[in-house]
């Protein structure tokens, strides 16, 4: 008997399709379960691994193991297997689970994680080859498909090259799997060393394979800066600019000192350790133009680089530095230095940064960090201008309504009185919008932050606190590059910081006791692009084992140098003294003759003087002052290397000198630079003769080069050392080679000549010139001997100690 044909109903086809889809989805999920990730932690028994990395890896396992990924964790170090396994086991004892996880479940997860974690010694090329074979054997045995490998370098940078070479030659995953190499700072010591390291690593890894960690980018408050700005675009668009922001403070304070870490700290110091990386990254997040898509790593990194391009160059006057008093003693003890050793490494620094673009022009960004301070706290604070005037008394001001109360936005990075990450917005600004992973918070009663009670803020904290390394490990696993430092970003940062570091290399930091005992010693102020301590405190000339020097212990030293008056002091006090003397000379000249003719040298030494005159000498008779240049490089006046450009940036734009009283050297005529046929030197000489009585300046400010040159009169170029010419064209041994300069005979006609000599680099020439006679062809500075005027030397102690 034949079976009757099955009668398919239309609805049954739909059921069949659903069944097939479910089966296919199950197959895909099964395939997903076969994806395996190997994580190799190099330096697995070190401090960073013990404190943060193993816990971060455990959290990654908890987050991802249940989502179709399998893992193996290889702790690696140079230590022999038995000892290394013991050290690693001890590090893994401190693993903790989320607070909301049941203890029994926690114990089960920890046990599974420990079973997946094993120690191995990675010392030789053969060790890396063996690791690769073990990973491949594990994959084959378990029938797993390799998703990728993560190598986390928790080792000193000097070990990077050898490890990278071994990974590249022996431990790369097979086709179709990814490789991610995680690097911890420091990434170099300056721009040159960072470039070298980047080039070396770039020979082994592609840019997309490298994840340079700055753990600050994993801090929850820092990670919230861009999303917060994006989610509150409408409220912030009109406020986030120079018209409304008074200043930005980016701060990281620590109570601990550098004891036990002085070998590292002697090489890096606080600027390299904190400001160049952590605080600079926060700066870029605050200052960058907001991309349309803040989730696009490419767009974020591009906008960060635009910030670096807009940063104004740092100079020595952009920073103040300090050092806690017991630091040198700690260095002597830990590094076996002699009793006479005294470190110049700063343990405290504050730096004034400007972003020269339309949004931020003129807004000061203060970056500050230090050890042995009075509290541990980190934050980025945007303080808004307050131009309101309230008629009612303060007791009637309502936090959400009164515009007379402070208006500020704070990304509280951690610690401090709050004790955790937070975002605070003054209630008189706007009510912010934050994602569901943040909740409104309440602090202890009576808590005040940044001058206001906590109740004056909309305050939010994370629903779940997560460690920075845990956040970053999750981003690495998912291939998110926006939380890491690219090579381009790294070199841009070092390019910005290296000139300042070089200028501070020989600067003696201000000593401070540490903690609350430091009082106001480290308080600082800023004005006209310059940062300075609020309290004057000449530093200790030769620090001894006794108590630190007090401000009254050292005064301005008056003596003789080459039979002429010498004024010597620490650099800040010396600049202050010279500025006072110039103002006094100007006032006397205007009183007697109605005008004051001042000729100024270029270079780096006078910058601090120009800034002092611009910011602290309101009685200076600028309206009656004629400003001349002692010398000029043969470049356009708008060129950054132009002496006139330096004078404009640091003095002229801040004072009111009539434009017809400003006399730049005519180095750029007929669209040519210092061409003999244009007669620029003769034109300047005629201008001087026409306006300056007897061609005798009231005051000429000179410097002294390390080769004994002054103005642009060089030993190798005898032009201008004698004869009748008032202004000459000369040749410099360094670029740009062509210069224009006042001649020595003209300089010696001046009523007063001041020679400013600063820095340790001048010690050798200072000692040499003190012993020679008048030999201007060998040492042009020795020919500065005013015929009927006065010569005064101004030297800081760094130069004078010779």
Supply the Cα-derived Rg of the chain in whole angstroms.
Answer: 33
Terminal CA-CA length for the chain = 121
CA distances from 537 to 470, 515, 553, 757, 775 (A): 44, 18, 9, 21, 39
Task: Locate all alpha helices (DSSP H) within 640-788, ordered by sequence.
Answer: 643-650, 680-691, 744-747, 763-769
As a whole number of angstroms, the distance between CA 426 and CA 408 comes to 6
Rounded to the nearest 10°, the torsion over CA 708, 712, 713, 715 is: 50
**Extended beta strands in 154-244, E state:** 178-184, 210-213
As a whole number of angstroms, the distance between CA 35 and CA 30 comes to 9
Q: Which residues pair with 568 in a beta bridge?
A: 557, 795
**Extended beta strands in 374-454, E state:** 377-384, 408-415, 422-426, 438-440, 448-449, 452-453
Q: Determine whether 278 is an active site residue.
A: yes
Pairing of strands 178-184, 210-213: parallel
Catalytic residue among 74, 278, 469, 650: 278
Peptide bond into 331 cis (omega under 30): no
Residue partners of 18: CB distance under 8 A and separation at least 6: none
- Can you give the length of the chain in residues? 802
Pairing of strands 564-569, 557-561: antiparallel
Residue partners of 422: CB distance under 8 A and separation at least 6: 221, 410, 412, 441, 459, 460, 461
- Is the alpha carbon torsion for 689, 692, 697, 703 positive or negative? negative
As a whole number of angstroms, the distance between CA 514 and CA 486 comes to 36
Report phi then psi at 564, rounded to 5. -120, 160
- Report the run of H or E that residue 668 belongs to, with start and end: strand 668-669
Query: Among 665, 697, 670, 664, which Cα is nearest to 682's?
Result: 665
**Extended beta strands in 554-624, E state:** 557-561, 564-569, 596-600
The pair of three-digit structure tokens given for residue 686, joined into one six-digit string: 């005629």
Cβ contact 597:789 at 8 Å:
no
**Burial grade of 798 (CB within 10 A; 0-12, 13-18, 19 or more):** buried
Instruction: Say which residue the tokens 């029938």 belong to.
Output: 143
Cβ contact 522:533 at 8 Å:
yes
The string of DSSP codes covering 689-716 is HHHSGGG--SEEEEE--TTS-BTTBBTT
Peptide bond into 736 cis (omega under 30): yes
Residue partners of 179: CB distance under 8 A and separation at least 6: 148, 149, 151, 167, 172, 173, 205, 209
Query: Among 761, 440, 758, which Cα is nearest to 577's?
Result: 758
- Report the run of H or E that residue 152 belongs to, with start and end: strand 145-153
As a whole number of angstroms, the distance between CA 655 and CA 645 comes to 15
Report phi then psi at 195, rounded to 5. -65, -45
Query: Among 640, 641, 643, 647, which Cα is nearest to 632's?
Result: 643
- Known catalytic residues are 278
């Amino acid at each position: 008997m034949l079976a009757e044909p099955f009668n398919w109903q239309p609805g049954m086809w739909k059921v069949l399709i659903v069944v097939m889809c479910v089966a296919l989805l199950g197959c895909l999920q099964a395939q997903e379960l076969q994806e395996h990730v190997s994580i190799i932690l190099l330096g697995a028994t070190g401090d960073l691994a013990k404190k943060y990395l193993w816990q971060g890896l455990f959290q990654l396992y908890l987050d991802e193991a249940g989502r179709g990924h399998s893992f193996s964790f290889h702790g690696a170090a140079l230590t022999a297997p038995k000892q290394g396994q013991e050290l690693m086991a001890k590090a893994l004892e401190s693993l903790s689970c989320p607070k909301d996880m049941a203890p029994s479940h926690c114990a089960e997860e920890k046990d599974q994680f420990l079973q997946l974690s094993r120690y191995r010694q990675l010392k030789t090329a053969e060790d890396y080859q063996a690791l690769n074979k073990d990973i491949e054997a594990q994959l084959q045995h378990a029938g797993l498909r390799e998703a990728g490998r993560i190598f986390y370098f928790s080792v000193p940078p000097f070990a990077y090259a050898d490890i990278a070479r071994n990974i590249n030659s022996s431990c790369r995953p097979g086709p179709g799997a990814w490789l991610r190499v995680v690097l911890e700072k420091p990434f170099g010591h300056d721009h040159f060393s960072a470039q070298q390291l980047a080039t070396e690593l770039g020979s082994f890894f592609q840019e997309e394979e490298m994840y340079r960690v700055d753990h600050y980018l994993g801090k929850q408050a820092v990670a919230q800066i861009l999303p917060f700005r994006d989610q509150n675009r409408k409220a912030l668009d009109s406020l986030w600019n120079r018209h409304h922001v008074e200043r930005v403070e980016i701060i990281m304070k620590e109570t601990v000192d550098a004891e036990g870490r002085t070998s590292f700290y002697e090489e890096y110091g606080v600027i390299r350790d904190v400001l160049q990386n952590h605080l600079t990254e926060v700066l870029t997040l605050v200052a960058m133009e907001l991309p349309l898509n803040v989730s696009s790593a490419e767009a974020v990194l591009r906008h960060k680089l635009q910030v670096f391009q807009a940063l104004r160059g740092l100079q020595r006057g952009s920073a103040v530095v300090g050092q806690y008093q017991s630091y040198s003693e700690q260095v002597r003890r830990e590094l076996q230095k002699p009793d006479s050793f005294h470190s110049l490494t700063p343990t405290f620094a504050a730096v004034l940064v400007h972003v020269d673009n339309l949004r931020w022009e003129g807004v000061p960004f203060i970056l500050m960090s230090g050890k042995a301070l009075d509290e541990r706290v980190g934050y980025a604070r945007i303080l808004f201008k307050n131009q309101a005037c309230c008629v009612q008394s303060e007791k009637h001001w309502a936090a959400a309504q009164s515009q007379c109360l402070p208006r500020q936005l704070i990304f509280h990075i951690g610690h401090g009185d709050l004790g955790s990450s937070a975002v605070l917005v003054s209630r008189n600004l706007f009510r912010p919008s934050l994602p569901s992973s943040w909740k409104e918070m309440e602090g202890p009663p009576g808590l005040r932050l940044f001058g206001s009670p906590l109740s004056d803020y909309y305050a939010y904290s994370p629903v779940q606190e997560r460690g920075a390394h845990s956040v970053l490990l999750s981003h690495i696993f998912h291939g998110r590059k926006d939380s890491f430092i690219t090579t381009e970003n790294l070199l841009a940062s070092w390019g910005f910081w290296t000139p300042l570091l070089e200028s501070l290399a020989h600067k003696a930091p201000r000593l401070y006791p540490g903690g609350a005992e430091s009082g106001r010693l480290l308080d600082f102020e800023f004005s006209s692009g310059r940062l300075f301590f609020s309290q004057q405190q000449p530093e200790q000339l030769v620090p001894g084992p006794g108590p630190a020097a007090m401000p009254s212990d050292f005064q301005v030293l008056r003596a003789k140098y080459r039979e002429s008056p010498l004024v010597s002091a620490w650099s800040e006090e010396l600049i202050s003294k010279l500025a006072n003397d110039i103002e006094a000379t100007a006032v006397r000249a205007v009183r007697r003759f109605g005008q004051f003719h001042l000729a100024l040298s270029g270079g780096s030494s006078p910058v601090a003087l120009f800034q002092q005159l611009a910011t602290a000498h309101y009685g200076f008779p600028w309206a009656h002052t004629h400003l001349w240049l002692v010398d000029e490089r043969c470049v356009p006046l708008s060129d950054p290397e132009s002496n006139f450009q330096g004078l404009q940036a640091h003095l002229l734009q801040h004072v009111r000198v009539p434009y017809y009283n400003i006399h730049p050297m005519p180095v750029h005529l007929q669209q040519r630079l210092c061409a003999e046929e244009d007669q620029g030197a003769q034109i300047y000489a005629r201008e001087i003769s026409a306006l300056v009585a007897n061609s005798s300046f009231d005051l000429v400010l000179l410097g002294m080069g390390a080769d004994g040159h002054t103005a642009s009169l060089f030993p190798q170029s005898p032009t201008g050392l004698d004869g009748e010419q008032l202004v000459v064209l000369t040749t410099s041994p360094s670029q740009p080679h062509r210069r224009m300069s006042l001649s020595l005979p003209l300089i010696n006609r001046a009523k007063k000549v001041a020679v400013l000599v600063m820095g340790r680099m001048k010690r050798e020439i200072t000692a040499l010139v003190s012993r020679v006679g008048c030999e201007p062809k060998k040492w042009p500075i020795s020919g500065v001997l005013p015929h009927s005027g006065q010569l005064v030397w101004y030297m800081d102690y760094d130069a004078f100690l010779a």
